Chains A and B, each alone.
Chain A
């Protein structure tokens, strides 16, 4: 017998942590290795799915007031303030069907004080929030990132002027901007988007600038310049791909803020206008009827809260996955 022998039938473990793997494969793996980001992704996907198909499957439109004809009197009866109900489930559990005029109708979240289906309206409102989320991504990337990268890259006078501008823009509270805008523009979703356009890029521009300052002194940039690359090329082809981690993280974190802002503005009454609705305006409706129809406020609040939860979890997960600390690897 030898002193040494080869291990047999044993899975020799490769060092997965430090073995060469593409950056994005690593990000992918780290992102899905944790529970929270996966939960967040699931929540956001479910909300996205329901926002797309929810209003379609209900059979009502967001502005339609449900009503039936009373067979005895021949008059219209409007489905005002009906609590959530699913007829087949009710007859299954309660052994007896609904007996009122709306016995055949399904209102998953009930109806509001005017007789509109809340299920449809809630998911319609979620669409608005998701629209805001996409607009934010657009603003962050197009305005914030470009501004920050350019400011950081050129430095000197350009940077000084651009940073003064950021400082001024950053010192005006968001509500002041909204209120001044409200003088110039009709209230509505356009106002919300313009307000976000004016404020939401600032955080991103700071991150992009900081990254640019860090990277532009590196030698590969010098090499690139020596080989004759122009400014545009250096900024967007050489530096940008290396700043992508912090930028994606910042985008994910600014989405919940933007959704919150929209909900808040709609709640206050300068956001979305009737008969359209968003999560914020639905919460306001629910609040106005809270003593008579208390169930009405619950669905929009839950949708808003879950949306926040989902995006925050994804943001946290991405931050850790894109810029792992050594001990996490």
Chain B
């Protein structure tokens, strides 16, 4: 197991480094000039370029950039939030995104699990039908549509909740975005849990456990649920990344200062802010790779079969 973990961590770090380098390269070979050329003479530009290290070989530039990034310094935006260092903006946005995304994940996972379990236990009865209709709805309708709907009914028509995100009224203004973001997770988790539970319940070893006199909650939690949850963890992983990194459109519509909105602002405005694109690209990739890594390792913990096979051979 230890060897497997080390191997996975190293390969994840290598991938991240490669992606960072690619992003850096792409942004650096961009056509265009960082200085207003009409107002500066050629010598002045040349001097400034040398000062900023733009004439160095790309690997040296990358090394300088990375050593700054590792200290948490992403430089400054070129057009977005002009003048403010990126890392202070990022810090604020990250905390907003993480809070709302976190609530959405918790809500989605718990309600989804509950719904899936209830549906599997009442197969072909009301809750099962409800669960399947709900999961179809959740998969077919994007989160931002739910958000628009909730915003329109609860904020605009009924005026019960704030129309836009307001950090001073955090609790009340989190309800709409986190509920609408959680619906997709909820329906996916519910559907997977239900299907897996049904499959496991029909298996021979559950029949054996029943034949030996096990029943009720003990059977469900110990034998059915534990095995049913393993695949659910895998589908949950990409969803967690999506939610933590901010459901972009949700943040944009509800006016949440999160990294999703930041990303959309950085690319959809008139000028594209390269530094933000680069910083956010690295951040997103890091989170994505990090969570995938955690899930892979978690998978090994949850399922002893994987742990044992990983010990024996190398299937990393």
Contact = CB atoms under 8 A, between A and B. Distances in A.
Nearest to B143: A264
Contact of B285 (A173, A184, A301): A173
A329 B135 CA distance: 26
B263 A179 contact: yes
Contacts of B263: 175, 179
B26 A180 contact: yes
A38 interface: no
Interface stretch (B57-65, B83-91, B212-220, B248-256): B248-256
Q: Which of A287, A297, A309, A312 has the most CB of B within 10 A?
A: A287
Which range holds the interface residue count of chain A?
20 to 34
A311 to B, nearest CB: 9
B274 A173 contact: no
Contacts of A256: 139
B100 interface: no
Interface stretch (A2-10, A89-97, A101-109, A266-274): A266-274
Interface string A105-135: 0000000000000000000000000000000
Interface residues of B, number: 41
B139 to A, nearest CB: 6
A308 B187 CA distance: 15
Contacts of A287: 148, 253
A290 interface: yes
A294 interface: yes
Contacts of A180: 23, 26-27, 277, 281
Contact of B152 (A267, A290, A304, A305): A290
B174 interface: no
B133 to A, nearest CB: 11
Contacts of B281: 172, 176, 179-180
B142 A172 contact: no
A150 to B, nearest CB: 22
A179 B267 contact: yes
B196 to A, nearest CB: 15
Given A173-B288, A268-B268, A183 B145 contact: no
B266 interface: yes
Contacts of A291: 156
Interface in A161-193: 167-168, 171-173, 175-176, 178-180, 182-184
Nearest to B287: A173
B249 A173 contact: no
Given A180-B27, A263-B142, A268-B248, A168 B277 contact: no
A283 interface: yes
Interface string B243-265: 00100110011000000000110
Interface in A273-325: 283, 287, 290-291, 294, 297, 301, 304-306, 308-309, 312
B287 to A, nearest CB: 8
B52 interface: no
B288 A171 contact: yes
Contact of A183 (B27, B241, B249): B27
B271 to A, nearest CB: 10
A260 interface: yes
B280 interface: yes
B141 A176 contact: no
Contact of B266 (A173, A179, A283): A179
A267 B249 contact: yes
Q: Which of A268, A283, A301 has the most CB of B within 10 A?
A: A268
Majority-rule SS of A interface residues: helix
Contact of A176 (B16, B148, B280, B292): B280
B129 interface: no
Contacts of B27: 180, 183
Contact of A294 (B15, B139, B152, B285): B152
Given A260-B142, A312-B139, A312-B140, A167 B15 contact: yes
A183 B26 contact: yes
B262 to A, nearest CB: 11
Interface string B45-83: 000000000000000000000000000000000000000
Nearest to A175: B263
B267 A178 contact: yes
B264 A290 contact: no
Interface string A233-269: 0000000000000000000000010001001100111
B26 A173 contact: no
B1 interface: no
20 contacts: A168-B15, A168-B22, A171-B288, A172-B288, A173-B285, A175-B248, A176-B277, A176-B284, A179-B263, A179-B277, A180-B26, A183-B26, A183-B272, A183-B274, A264-B249, A268-B248, A283-B144, A304-B141, A304-B145, A312-B136
Given A182-B272, A268-B252, A304-B142, 20 more contacts: A168-B22, A171-B16, A171-B19, A172-B285, A175-B248, A176-B277, A179-B272, A179-B277, A183-B27, A183-B30, A183-B277, A184-B30, A264-B142, A264-B144, A264-B248, A268-B249, A268-B268, A290-B148, A301-B141, A312-B136
Interface of B: 11, 15-16, 18-19, 22-23, 26-27, 30, 136, 139-142, 144-145, 148, 152, 156, 241, 245, 248-249, 252-253, 263-264, 266-268, 272, 274, 277, 280-281, 284-285, 288-289, 292
Interface of A: 167-168, 171-173, 175-176, 178-180, 182-184, 256, 260, 263-264, 267-270, 283, 287, 290-291, 294, 297, 301, 304-306, 308-309, 312
